[in-house]
Amino acid sequence: MSRKSTDRISLYEGLESTLGPADKNQAVLIRPGSVLRLGSPVNQMYSSIYPSLEFKEHTLADLKSLKKLKGMIVVVISILTLTQGAHYAVLRPEKNKNFHKNLDRLYAEIPGSLEKKELLKL
């Protein structure tokens, strides 16, 4: 997603970002402790929610298995900023259990996952 000079990203106790031109006045605040719900994938799988940040290790089966998590309540445990400037919310299930198998965390691109309604504010 390209940034215009009028868009801003700032960090303070989380991530506050102003969305695209249609949402100029609507600020979305995501910070550790925020409670969210996993929405519907935009296609056959989530395009902004991942099982890890090791993108080369993702398999199609792993990405498709995330569809089963639709509707799950999650909590933001931290916000990561990568060197390229991308921001990710680290998510865990609300009840401190694993999502499935050995998967205890998910990573959601911000603001992409919010814009695509793959993550929903409660």
Query: Mind listing the pLDDT tens digit for each residue in 67-105?
Result: 999 999 999 999 999 888 889 999 999 887 888 878 889
The predicted pLDDT at position 10 comes to 42
The predicted pLDDT at position 56 comes to 86
21 in any annotated domain: no
Secondary structure of the chain in HEC code, one letter for each residue: CCCCCCCCEEECCCEEEECCHHHCCCEEEECCCCEEEECCCCCCCCCCEECCCCHHHCCHHHHHHHHHHCCCEEEEEEEEECCCCCEEEEEEECCCCCCECCECCEEEEECHHHHCCCEEEC
44 in any annotated domain: yes
The predicted pLDDT at position 9 comes to 42
CA distance linking residue 31 with residue 10, whole number of Å: 12
pTM score of the predicted model: 0.74
66 in any annotated domain: yes
3 in any annotated domain: no
CA distance linking residue 98 with residue 66, whole number of Å: 12
117 in any annotated domain: yes
72 in any annotated domain: yes
Query: Mind listing the pLDDT tens digit for each residue in 11-69?
Result: 433 444 433 444 433 345 789 999 999 999 988 889 999 998 888 888 888 888 889 99
37 in any annotated domain: yes
57 in any annotated domain: yes
What domain count does the chain have? Answer: 1
Give the residue numbers spanning the domain of 67.
Answer: 32-121
The predicted pLDDT at position 28 comes to 53
